[in-house]
Structure 1
């Protein structure tokens, strides 16, 4: 990234924006958990409401 002129650091304001933005939740989680294999993982789906109610 440095070769492309991109910074590898975040300012505090940028981190706050990431945390507060619902649209960037996946990106934030990917940064926090880089070891998760997104291609071959089977994720458990939590349901707020039981499936039978839909």
Structure 2
């Protein structure tokens, strides 16, 4: 992964995983707020979209 010019990346590695985890959860939460878009997707397609992003 390319080094991001963010202060968080200068912290301990555990913080990288924590913030990444929070980002993933936030992305999933926002996706759940758009049921009209994701309701036509299968579970596999949803996972693929999340992984691509």
TM-score category, normalised to shorter length: under 0.3
Q: Which has the larger radius of gyration?
A: 1
Give the number of the structure whose residues are more often helix, by fraction: 2
TM-score (norm 1): 0.25
If asked which structure has higher relative contact order (CA below 8 Å, sep 6+), I would say 2
TM-score (norm 2): 0.25
